[in-house]
A and B are shown apart, each in its own frame.
Chain A
Amino acid sequence: MDVLFKSAAVLISIFLLLFCNAIPSVAYSSSSTMHTNNWAVLVCTSRFWFNYRHMANTLSLYRTVKRLGIPDERIILMLADDMACNARNKYPAQVFNNENHRLNLYGDNVEVDYRGYEVTVENFMRVLTGRHETAVPRSKRLLSDEGSHILLYMTGHGGDEFLKFQDSEELQSHDLADAVKQMKEKRRFKELLIMVDTCQAATLFSQLQSPGVLAIGSSMKGENSYSHHLDSDVGVSVVDRFTFYTLAYFERLNMYDNASLSSLFNSYNPNLLMSTAYYRTDLYGRQLEEVPVTNFFGSVMETIHTDSPYRAFSGKYSKIEIPLDQSDEVKQRRLKSSDVPQELTGSNITDKHVTCPVTRTWNAILGRIGMMKELDSLVNYGLILMFLIATGSSWFSS
């Protein structure tokens, strides 16, 4: 009988556990935590000069995201090659995304976190999951928390269920899904927007299952994503179509606009893109019309107005100005806190414990000198006096 009861209890508890785990944890994805900050992870995975446009894509997004308010501390920029200082770049230290050369994307305010051969699948996964070695600096870590909205933008050469890194490795779609799942488990994001601009981009996020993830790709399975135009001066194509139209959309906005994500996603015209921009909202709980684009692409911080200065330093000035309409308690508090610095200065001047008269007079002299605020003028007078004494005494002695 006892054995039966015990086994029944164990079985029931196991069932309950399974039952609890089976309930999808959609409930606490979006509503319980507060949106605290925005992060952006911008990855360009292509190397070599003829992939100039992928670099220009990433740098264009970098510039847009910075312009709309995300600071460098919350952007992880991974560029697989250096186009600005490439030997084949006719315009050294300049990267353009349009043949009118209106915008130099590589100004003096670009902070690249992973450059060159550091852009690998392993490092990308480490950035997403946060599992770095101890020596990796903070600027290379994605330090997001459970209230973060993360924009993940990837561009390069891709294909069916993969993205090519550095012409030597591949990131597969289930790798990406795995990483995102780890991020969700570790509560590293509140909402995630994945934007992919490669050939057959939509296949890359086909394996995603984590809630709170929104994904858009520039083309569907079997379609290619095309570059927009060739710059005959630089010699290569300078921007891809999907990113070009994304930028065209954002150039009309500033930090405080509340254009919605749905207007962004609907702005993509398949005829102009020459591919179908496909987006996936099944894992994302909210309606796209209610989500402003600055939730992911910008960063608007809430400011709290205060009328009074910081309370910590009010003790110093309390002796001089106490407003008359303050309550007595506040007055007492302020007076108490101002006593502390007074005691410290007071002990220097009136020290009654020292009995030696020499040190007492020396302290008195120093105190009086300390009260004289212009020590420099005293030293100057001393020097003039010294020279006068020297000349006088030598004149007398000669």
Chain B
Amino acid sequence: MEEKTRNKINETKLGFWKWAIGSVIFRLILIYFPKNFNLSSRPEVSTPVTSLRRLAEGYWLKQLSMSPYAGSMYHGSPLLLSVLGPLTAIKIEGQPNHLLCSLVSVIADFICALLIRATGRILQKAHGQNLKSLGLDTMLEDIEILPSGDIAALVYLWNPFTIFTCVGYNTSPVENLFAVLSLYGASSGIVPLAAFGWVIASHLSLYPVVLVIPVILLLGYCPDMPPRKLFLQRNLQKTGDERSTKSHIQHRPLTNKPAEATFFWWRVILFFLWASIWIAYVLILSAISVKEYGGLPEMFKRTYGFILTVKDLSPNIGVLWYFFAEVFDFFRNFFLIVFHVNILFMLLPLAIRLNHRPCFLAFVYLAISSMLKSYPSVGDSALYLGLMALFVNELADMQFSFFLFCGYVGVSLLSPVMHNLWIWRGTGNANFYFATAMAYACFQRKGEDSHPKCKFQMHANH
């Protein structure tokens, strides 16, 4: 029995590395044929905040001793400019121009996949330990548990959205890397790494700042601790039959508090300490970087201010551009607040409901922010689709999975067609393209809705 499982684990391990290296080679092949795809100019792939062309322009402006934010082209972090800027300028003869930046994207994708795999392993181990402590470890041998870490990493690597993002010459892979780094650091308990990942991810793009809640929960509790009511049932099961289910529940008061329900406050405080160190460091570096061009206030106005005030209304797969193209100036600030609060007001109820599953909470937050953020791209959905596969064991009986899959495929095929009809041929109008954007948001919403439902059904079935 043990050898069989060991062989199975070894096979899956080898299978994983085979597929991972295969995906890297596939990306490298695709990098050498960029002109065929022209992905960097697609609005679904590169947005005003992630486009590497804009970064190259910002770097060039900086080389000319002008502010990199002049002309409203570049809206990202000045530190990213110092790292990726020289790479956009170096041209190797005989190779495509953007080779170095695409290599950076490939490496970032690969590291991200490895981190997702490690996070999945930690989650599985913790899940196994929790089940053992509940006395349900016999379940482990009956049900075939899939290695969720490996599957999630492979889903992330072979997801067409991720491949488009990687080949499409933008900075989303790097942003996704830091978001996953923070989750990995939090789930493995490495506090400075979690703080580092969180600070850098929210510095590069504003929205990962909502990940602070799942990271605190992950650091405070162990990863994916089951809810307290399961510990109540544990006492029942030990005293009564093994088959005693919903019909015979008697809530006896617990004599002793379960040991796993403690919240490690000191880790959270340490997290905030490290986070403040990293925030100060990043801000000082950015201030030095933009000292001559208006300083930090200018940087905040051009990066976070741009994301929050939605100045650029070029079409993308989000839902904000269409609305803000028509809104009257008098109501513009009001509706900006409405749209951004739309993300914020969902944070607290979800945190209350899902506080025992912080990784899943992180996934839901990322899905919500990628749906409602001001400049979404397929890179954001690549991230949360990869994270979704971490919970493949729990989501085995998700409703509408085939419908959602077909929906995603359909939207990703129709969206460029509608864009072409609207902009290049002129036989369509903005409504065509916005319809696909809305359909995309609906499918994302439906996907999120069906997940908690099935999870709670699973809990009720225990």
Contact = CB atoms under 8 A, between A and B. Distances in A.
B191 A397 contact: yes
B270 to A, nearest CB: 9
Contact of A369 (B196, B281, B288): B288
Interface stretch (A71-79, A133-141, A249-257, A376-384): A376-384
A316 to B, nearest CB: 18
B288 A379 contact: yes
Contacts of B289: 375-376, 379
Nearest to A375: B288
A376 B82 contact: yes
B208 interface: no
Interface stretch (A1-9, A97-105, A339-347, A386-394): A386-394
A378 B286 CA distance: 11
Q: Lowest 7 A-B CB distances belong to which pairs?
A: A393-B192, A394-B193, A390-B196, A382-B285, A394-B190, A397-B190, A379-B289
Contacts of B189: 397-398
Nearest to A397: B190
A370 B287 CA distance: 13
A366 interface: yes
Instruction: Classify the secondary structure of B's interface with A.
Output: helix
B274 to A, nearest CB: 8
Contacts of A394: 185, 190, 192-193, 196
A242 B193 CA distance: 87
18 contacts: A366-B291, A375-B288, A379-B288, A380-B82, A382-B288, A383-B79, A383-B82, A383-B83, A383-B285, A386-B281, A386-B285, A390-B193, A393-B274, A394-B190, A394-B193, A397-B189, A397-B190, A398-B190
A383 B288 CA distance: 12
A370 to B, nearest CB: 8
B193 A375 contact: no
Interface string B253-291: 000000000000000000000100010011011001101
Given A376-B82, A379-B289, A397-B193, 6 more contacts: A375-B288, A378-B288, A383-B82, A383-B83, A386-B282, A390-B192
Contacts of A378: 288
A382 B83 CA distance: 11
Contacts of B278: 386
Contacts of B185: 394
Interface of A: 366, 369-370, 375-376, 378-380, 382-383, 386, 390, 393-394, 397-398
B188 interface: yes
Contacts of A366: 291
Interface of B: 78-79, 82-83, 185, 188-193, 196, 274, 278, 281-282, 284-285, 288-289, 291
Contacts, number: 49
Contact of B192 (A369, A379, A383, A397): A397
Nearest to B193: A394
A308 to B, nearest CB: 29
A383 B204 CA distance: 14
Contacts of A370: 291
B285 A375 contact: no
Contacts of B196: 390, 393-394
A2 B248 CA distance: 139
A379 B190 contact: no
Given A386-B281, A386-B285, A379 B79 contact: yes
Contacts of A375: 288-289, 291
Contacts of A376: 82, 289
A213 to B, nearest CB: 52
Q: Which of B83, B191, B193, B278 has the most CB of A within 10 A?
A: B193
A287 to B, nearest CB: 58
A129 B284 CA distance: 64
A341 to B, nearest CB: 17
Nearest to A398: B190
A380 B78 CA distance: 11
A383 B200 CA distance: 11
A366 B284 CA distance: 12
A92 B157 CA distance: 54
A342 B362 CA distance: 57
B52 to A, nearest CB: 18
Contacts of A382: 281, 284-285, 288
Contacts of B291: 366, 369-370, 375
A370 B82 CA distance: 18
Contacts of B78: 379
A291 B281 CA distance: 77
Contacts of A390: 192-193, 196
A398 B193 CA distance: 10
Contacts of B281: 382, 386
Nearest to B63: A376
Q: Which of A366, A390, A397 has the most CB of B within 10 A?
A: A390
B446 to A, nearest CB: 38
A397 to B, nearest CB: 5
B224 to A, nearest CB: 19
A397 B291 CA distance: 35
A393 B288 CA distance: 24
Contacts of B190: 394, 397-398
Contacts of A369: 288, 291
A112 B346 CA distance: 63
A325 B435 CA distance: 80
A116 to B, nearest CB: 28
Q: Which of B196, B274, B291 has the most CB of A within 10 A?
A: B196
A155 B387 CA distance: 78
Contacts of B82: 376, 379-380, 383
Contacts of A397: 189-193
